[in-house]
């Protein structure tokens, strides 16, 4: 079971149909919408400020979501995928965004809707990522506009796949519990 802890007597709040991997950690002032998933070794740490997560958000293996004490909250919109080992820290991620594997989005950055942050990119503090663009590199810069095919073929596909994957794990857990009670 995921590690879910209060901080200063504030417990995380989860919407309907969320999947939390057994070794995911979610603590403090975290509010998560419906159909979200937090995967293996991912950390969502609302200890020093608030974290707000919309619907159909997947936080993949090893990712870290955090914020800055008395300065920056983290707000993540709907239909967002945060890739393996990515760091999202004290920033705003709007709807329909893919944050690639190992990418870092720093304090006071704002990522517009229908955008992709490429794997390994570093979005520096205060950067405003235009809606409908791909940003890549260190520091991250706009490399091109996103076509409708990339929005449906990557951003939506990955978010939908993670919703499907979480269903596999929920089914497996139910089946294993049922088998154990039969013995």
**Cβ atoms within 10 Å, residue 69:** 9
Residue 81: asked if its preceding bond is cis (omega within 30°), the reply is no
Query: Model-level pTM?
Result: 0.93
Number of domains in the chain: 1
pLDDT of residue 149: 86
- pLDDT tens for 1-37 read 899 999 999 999 999 999 999 999 999 999 999 999 9
User: CA–CA distance from 46 to each of 8, 49, 138 (Å)?
Assistant: 11, 6, 27
Q: Which of 106, 120, 99, 98 is nearest to 67 (CA)?
A: 106
- pLDDT tens for 135-177 read 999 999 999 999 888 888 899 999 999 999 999 988 765 555 4
- pLDDT tens for 96-135 read 999 999 999 999 999 999 999 999 999 999 999 999 999 9
pLDDT of residue 172: 61
Residue-number span of the structural domain to which 123 is assigned: 3-182
Residue 99, classified by CB atoms within 10 Å of its CB into exposed (0-12), middle (13-18) or buried (19+), is buried
Task: Tell me the DSSP string of 109-142.
Answer: -EE-SSEEE-TT-EE-TT-EEPTTEEEETTTTEE
Cβ contact 100:80 at 8 Å: no
**Would you state the torsion angle of the CA atoms of residues 173, 55, 4, 93, taken in this order, to the nearest 10 degrees?**
130
Q: What is the CATH number of the domain that holds 138?
A: 2.160.10.10
Q: pLDDT at residue 181 above 70? A: no
- pLDDT tens for 46-91 read 999 999 999 999 999 999 999 999 999 999 999 999 999 999 999 9
């Amino acid at each position: 079971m995921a590690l879910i802890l209060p901080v200063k007597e504030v417990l995380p709040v989860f919407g309907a149909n969320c999947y939390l991997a057994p070794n995911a950690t979610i603590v403090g002032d975290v509010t998560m919408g419906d159909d979200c998933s937090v995967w293996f070794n991912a950390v969502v740490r609302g200890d020093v400020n608030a974290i707000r997560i919309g619907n159909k958000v997947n936080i993949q293996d090893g990712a870290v979501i955090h914020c800055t004490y008395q300065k920056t909250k983290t707000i993540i919109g709907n239909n967002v995928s945060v890739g393996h080992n990515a760091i999202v820290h004290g920033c705003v991620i709007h709807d329909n965004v893919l944050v690639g594997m190992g990418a870092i989005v720093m304090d006071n950055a704002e990522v517009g809707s229908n955008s992709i942050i490429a794997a390994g990119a570093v979005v520096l503090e205060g950067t405003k990522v235009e809606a409908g663009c791909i940003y890549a590199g260190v520091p991250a810069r706009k490399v091109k506009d996103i076509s409708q095919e990339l929005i449906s073929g990557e951003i939506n596909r990955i978010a939908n796949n993670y919703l499907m994957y979480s269903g596999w794990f929920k089914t497996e857990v139910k089946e294993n519990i049922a088998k154990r009670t039969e013995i």
